[in-house]
Chain A
Amino acid sequence: SQTIHQWPATLVQPVGSPLSLECTVEGTSNPNLYWYRQAAGRGLQLLFYSVGIGQISSEVPQNLSASRPQDRQFILSSKKLLLSDSGFYLCASWGLAGAETQYFGPGTRLLVL
């Protein structure tokens, strides 16, 4: 079966510290991968998506970056966190078992203090 893993589940970081969130996908190969941020009452904001290793598209200018070092690994990073980076970060995958839809990981809750 197909599974998306994200870690950590919760993270509390001081302003100005670096960030690394990891997402891995099991059960498929060459999926499209996505990073979303979800804020209360504001839905899902697409941050980055990737169609393959080393290929990253950014949807909004921001303090964050993404990388895809392996086919089923997607990393969200920041060199210096801002208070506004707090939120719920979701990794998603498209292409699992050929279904034309997205599946989501469990999410990482980030609090920047």
Chain B
Amino acid sequence: QKEVEQDPGPLSVPEGAIVSLNCTYSNSAFQYFMWYRQYSRKGPELLMYTYSSGNKEDGRFTAQVDKSSKYISLFIRDSQPSDSATYLCAMSLTGNQFYFGTGTSLTVIP
């Protein structure tokens, strides 16, 4: 079983839609949870970072962590064409070694 599972998509939504991206994981000891956005041919860019459980909001982005279900989500409100990218989830126990999902490709259609 992989440490982190992420639906690869691709996901295609109209502009203004709410997007939900998800990852599941197997190791209940993970404490740090991250979402990265990666544009084509660029390095991943950190979007959201959460420690332990709960929600975190930053503008149009909300990250949720449900440790009891071993499930994390990223919600994008009022999606824009500029949100079209691949989204990677990542997790860590101690902050020293990181486990990544394979990424979900998102296209927002104007």
Contact = CB atoms under 8 A, between A and B. Distances in A.
Contact of B43 (A46, A49, A106): A106
A49 B44 CA distance: 18
A94 B95 contact: yes
Interface in B77-98: 88, 90, 92, 95-98
Interface in A66-98: 88, 90, 94
Contact of B42 (A34, A44, A99, A106): A106
A104 B95 contact: no
Contacts of B44: 90, 104
A32 B88 contact: no
B48 to A, nearest CB: 10
Interface in B17-68: 32, 34, 36, 41-46, 49, 51
A34 B45 CA distance: 15
Given A106-B42, A107-B43, A43 B88 contact: yes
Contacts of B103: 43
Nearest to B2: A43
A44 B43 contact: no
A41 interface: yes
A88 to B, nearest CB: 8
Nearest to B103: A43
Contacts of B8: 41
A109 B41 contact: yes
Nearest to B48: A101
A9 to B, nearest CB: 9
Nearest to A10: B41
A101 B43 contact: no
B102 interface: yes
Contacts of B49: 99-101
Interface string A36-64: 00000111101001010000000000000
A49 B46 CA distance: 19
The 7 closest A-B pairs by CB, nearest first: A43-B102, A100-B95, A104-B43, A44-B100, A107-B43, A106-B43, A104-B44
